[in-house]
Structure 1
């Protein structure tokens, strides 16, 4: 039995449309602002007709047969686990902020202050380095 536009939609129907909207956002068809607007409308929608209006201007997406992702081996920096890349990014950001604070204090005091950011970035960096080297590609072996 076909779903008529007046029939009430379920939470599962709304979740399916949300997944379709996420895929269209990932593919660049809609912006994040449009995605957020449509998502607000989505969760206030009550019928299949209201759900259909949210994706009427978008092509059909088969979420089961999505385009193949680029092989991790094809990307030079993708050998590192995403969590480890995020940890290195956090380390670099915190280190940079500490060095900027150190520089501001040194310039405003008129004298070079002891380089205390080394105590922040040193131990943290050593732990990250050891984790990166010894951790290797453990996540790829378990696949």
Structure 2
């Protein structure tokens, strides 16, 4: 603290009261001691008067300040769960898109098989298979998540 005879500001008094709050929470002060010291802190005029109120308390250990890098709007949305909710709402739409694509590519494959009369390699499996596996895993995950939260499936 600065020199004991200098006048203290409201911010200085508030800082002492915050330190007294922490000491009360830690069990270092009784409620009566805290009330007495807090009242004297609010009435203190100089740094010397404030220093006497916390002289028998351990000095607070400064905590390292952790700063996070600024996140992009997309990253913030993912962390806030915005995409999870959007996926949940659009699950039927995703399955409809998959089914439409499956019908289309299987139809193209069948037309080419019928046109040539030759059984060709079933390439639509590589279009709709991985996509279907991902959608199925996501659907099962969503249902389990709802069950754990106690929500009924939509």
TM superposition score normalised by structure 1 = 0.43
The structure with more radius of gyration = 2
Higher relative contact order (CA 8 A, sep 6+): 1
